Structure 1
């Protein structure tokens, strides 16, 4: 994902990352690329502590689900993502 961030990311943009296990090298590279581009990062994670936590800058945000087992975390991640998408739709298109 870092190539896409490098290609289209601009200062002030936001990278939203969903992490299910906390050990994703490609997501780590994308976050590093976002920081190189002066982008803010928001991480939605199924684990409280992960490799990604150490990469976060003070202006970044990490939302964690406190180490839920995968069969519980995945549906909850989907609910949260859908709620965020609904809020974005409301802000962009009203309704």
Structure 2
């Protein structure tokens, strides 16, 4: 029984990856284009995540700062801290955007569970005139309701947050690779 349950985790994840390949390819390509236009225009990327997704945001910021698979100059990708003095979570992220962001920057937000206070972060981004790329799960109502038409919502349509998080990690790898490919002029072959 335990082995079958473990095996089911892999099957469920693989099925979702196949679905995501069709559903997320175009939005991830658009996100990569937004990021490249931001950086080539002198802007910076800010990354943050709700709860444990903060670690995914941290990982992606390190891949952008350092490298994924290709050697290239460091990219300006800054992780927003989940704690800032007595502020935690979304209020800490919003405060950092208020202090650090400039018009033309881009926020990449990772949120598999649907952070209820995300409107505060979106308002801070809007006040600084920065775009938003948001990776979310099915509980995207609060986020979807406050994004602008120029922002990009990348939704992983699955009920279980562990599957959404796994797909977000793959999506972030694909995003970093697409950014590298555009900046380095790599062909479409992997």
TM-score by length of 2: 0.45
Q: Which has the larger helix fraction?
A: 2
Residue of structure 2 in register with 1:80 after alignment: 171
1:1-95 to 2 correspondence within 5 Å?
1-25=93-117, 27-47=118-138, 49-93=140-184
Aligned residues: 94
Q: CA RMSD in A?
A: 1.8
Q: Deviations over 1:12-71 (max 9, x none)?
A: 11111111111242x432221000111111111112642111111111111111233112
Cα distance in structure 1, aligned partners of 2:98 and 2:184: 28
Gaps of 5+ in 2: 1-92
Structure 1 stretches lacking a partner, 5+ long: none
